[in-house]
Amino acid sequence: MIRHDWSLQEIRLIHDLPLPELLYRAQSAHRAYHDPEAVQGCALLSIKTGHCPEDCAYCPQSARYETGLGSEPLLSVRETLRAAKNAKANGATRFCMGAAWREAPEGPEFERVVEMVRGVRELGMEACCTLGMLTQDQANRLAEAGLTAYNHNLDTSPEFYGEIITTRSYQDRLDTLARVRRSGVTVCCGGIIGMGESIEDRLGLILQLARQDPHPESVPINSLVRVAGTPLAGQAPVGGLEFARVIATARIAMPSSIVRLSAGRLEMSEEGQALCFLAGANSIFLGERLLTTPNPASSEDEGLLSKMGMRLCEQPLTTVSGSQS
Ligand code: SAM
Ligand code: DTB
Ligand code: SF4
């Protein structure tokens, strides 16, 4: 049953269950809506890199931190579609284009992104964008171009958010998410674990997502990639069991959503990643680069999936109307 009336106490009780019971419930929820042997492969491309005016404390692309990352102008449609074709050939069915903008610009740059979305859809892939804040008109134009999903993360609980970002509010993010929802594009919204937040903050994020009606169709759970020069570079790594508990809790609270084991896999063991799949994660990013940081090589991922007797989904999972097959 899909619920939207979760309380923090209920989510806490689930998260704190003995691990065998938590995994059993997560598996049961997973199997009610998804093939437990298949994961969706997605690919990321940074279409506009660096020099972002925001101060997100985790992010290598903020202009405020010395991370050694250059600034690159918006890629061409041709370069982007070349990367998308390559991603498709490597097994990805969803292509996500990320830009280091506070908000999507108006004018020729936006038109170029619209062309990219059209081109990715023509390849038969799901198209996702993450461009910062959007106006309603921009969301509608992306919808018209066939955009499958828009990624805009809440990142953490409303209470902890101010420790991480000061240049835009939680409400700004909720407003953009509402515009995406209104446009008919599906919502991709999640957060980051390992920024120094409490367990209550992790569950506060899940509560925010699980109280939305409908739930975000896609929920990326990132483990912080600690980048030298960012304020969060010295955070302690998150243990695999702790991380899997968050995945399982998200899976139980939002059973029909795709829960994505997103950034941070390079630092996880094979066993840690396997536990995340058993806890209900059913998507990973493929390819050696996320936006600006490294990701496991495809040979590693092929090895892991084959050892688990699992496989990549051959077909896209999300249709533009928001229904999942
Ligand atoms: N600038 C746009 C925005 O912030 O909405 C889009 C790109 S931004 C890089 C997309 C998401 O990547 C962020 O919301 C954050 O959750 C995630 N992210 C960024 N840096 C990360 C890091 N070092 N570790 C894990 N996730 C990260
Ligand atoms: C999301 O939640 N994770 C992806 C995607 N949405 C855009 C981004 C991860 C970025 C990790 C840091 C980097 O490579 O720059
Ligand atoms: Fe900019 Fe997005 Fe990075 Fe924040 S997460 S600094 S908005 S690119």
pLDDT above 70: residue 159: yes
pLDDT above 90: residue 12: yes
pLDDT above 50: residue 23: yes
Distance 98 CA to ligand 1 centre (A): 9
- The SS3 of residue 233 is coil
Q: How far is CA 98 from the centre of its chain?
A: 11
Q: Which one of the ligands is nearest to 71 CA?
A: 3
Let me know if 128 is a catalytic residue: yes
Distance 152 CA to ligand 1 centre (A): 9
pLDDT of res. 318 = 80
Is residue 52 packed enough to be buried (19+ CB in 10 Å), middle (13-18) or exposed (0-12)? buried
The letter for the amino acid at 210 is A
**Mean pLDDT of all residues in 126-137:** 97
The letter for the amino acid at 36 is P
List 52, 189, 276, 313, catalytic entry: 52
What CA–CA distances, in Å, run from 214 to 182, 208, 209, 237? 12, 12, 9, 32
Dist CA 284 CA 297 (whole Å): 12
- The SS3 of residue 108 is helix
Q: Residue 289: what are its φ and ψ, rounded to 5°? A: -135, 140
The residue nearest atom 18 of ligand 1, judged by CA position, is 59
pLDDT above 80: residue 321: no
What's the pTM? Answer: 0.96
Mean pLDDT of the chain: 95
225 CB near ligand 2 (under 6 Å): yes
Q: At the fourth CATH level, which superfamily is domain 8-311?
A: Aldolase class I (3.20.20.70)
Confidence of residue 322 (pLDDT cuts 50, 70, 90): very low
Give the pairing of strands 186-188 and 191-193.
Answer: unpaired
pLDDT in tens, 79-89: 999 999 999 99
Distance 251 CA to ligand 3 centre (A): 26
Give the pairing of strands 218-223 and 258-261.
Answer: parallel
Which letter does DSSP use for residue 238 in this model?
P
Dist CA 275 CA 258 (whole Å): 16
Domain ranges of the chain: 8-311
223 CB near ligand 2 (under 6 Å): no
Of 68, 98, 67, 92, nearest to 80 by C-alpha is: 98
Let me know if 276 is a catalytic residue: no
Pick the residue with more confidence: 316 or 324? 316
List 173, 251, 260, 265, catalytic entry: 260
pLDDT in tens, 242-262: 999 999 999 999 999 999 999
